[in-house]
A and B are shown apart, each in its own frame.
Chain A
């Protein structure tokens, strides 16, 4: 069965897109079929693979045509076993005068409910907001992965996200389970250690053992429109994401 994971945190800049891209690449490298869904209007995930964000717009199709397009017609291969689905309201807003709130319904959930999906994993990169697109991601997902930058404000983003999970609980077709809390951008400072300690005081073993360090190889790889696993396969950070892929594969919620 396909595991559908929303990668979310209300706070921007905590590593949502980086986590989605690199976790997906590591899962695909290990042999899994993976779909990455870009729900962020800034389209960083799509751009990180060198794709044109304006060329892939499934939500427009589903709205205008009124039908449900086949998912295979909407995805683009970017690596062996790794595909990208660009799902953004930006073109719709520009061309039709519609707004993001017009996309509050579960379009993505409907698309991903096409069974059987030809993927082992679907990872959804959520926008840094609590708006309709973030709700769309949570409604479509079965599991929630929360990257938390080891800083105080990122902790507060978790609380805002969990409030949104409460809001959609009654309307969600599938109960959302917490796959894990992923500490990101870790530096060996007192504050970073305190953040991880406090996360563990609340979420216990649901704070993943993998901790993603703050590492400049991410910036170098993204400038080359590659993942770290392609750009520097032997780098410490590449191994961290392989470890993350192994860890979440073994987590059963």
Chain B
């Protein structure tokens, strides 16, 4: 197992670096966090980039389910 598979900090910059009060500097303006609206993205949009036609897996993909609902439909424990 590689280093990044065991522990990754990718995408955690704002969470780890920025206080709850935000950045305390007036200028220059720092970058804004990138926030994806997962309720507007469909699972199918992602899986559509692959060629699933005729495969058994294609029947299992919830094509029209919003991504946020897809991830909350599992028991992750």
Residues of A within 8 A of B (CB): 152, 155-156, 158-159, 162-163, 165-166, 169, 175-178, 189-191, 194-195, 197-206, 253
Q: Is the CB of B19 within 8 A of A166?
A: yes
Residue among B9, B10, B31 making CB contact with A203, cutoff 8 Å = B31
Knowing A155-B9, A189-B3, A190-B3, the reply to whether A206 touches B16 (Cβ < 8 A) is no
Q: Mark B1-31, 1 if CB is under 8 A from A, else 0.
A: 0111001111111101111010111111011
A198 to B15, CA, bound (A): 10
Shortest CB distance A54–B (Å): 36
CB closest chain-A residue, reference B16:
A155
With both chains docked as a complex, state the minimum distance between the C-beta of B26 and any C-beta of chain A, in angstroms: 6
- Of all chain B residues, the one with the shortest Cβ separation from A194 is B9
Q: Which residue of B lies closest to A198 (CB)?
A: B13
Chain A residues closer than 8 Å to B19, beta-carbon distance: 159, 162-163, 166
Residues of chain A lying within 8 A (CB to CB) of residue B2? 190
Q: How many residues of B contact A (CB 8 A)?
A: 26
| Contact across chains for B31 and A152 when beta carbons are under 8 A apart | no
From A152, A190, A203, B4 is in contact (CB under 8 Å) with A190
- B16-48 residues with Cβ-Cβ distance < 8 A to A are 16-19, 21, 23-28, 30-31, 33-34
Would A162 and B23 count as touching, CB distance under 8 A? yes
Enumerate chain B residues within 8 angstroms of A195, measured Cβ to Cβ.
Answer: 9
Q: Is A198 a contact of B21 with CB atoms below 8 Å?
A: no
Partner of B9, one of A162, A166, A198: A198
What A residues does B34 contact at CB under 8 A?
Answer: 201
Residues of B close to A156: CB separation below 8 A = 16
B12–A198 touching, CB < 8 Å: yes
How long is the Cα–Cα vector from A221 to B23 in the complex, in angstroms? 36
Residues of A within 8 A of B30 (CB): 202-204, 206
Determine how close the nearest CB of chain A comes to the CB of B9; give it in whole angstroms: 5
Closest to A151 in B: B9
Residue of B2, B19, B21, B33 contacting most chain A CB atoms (<10 Å): B19
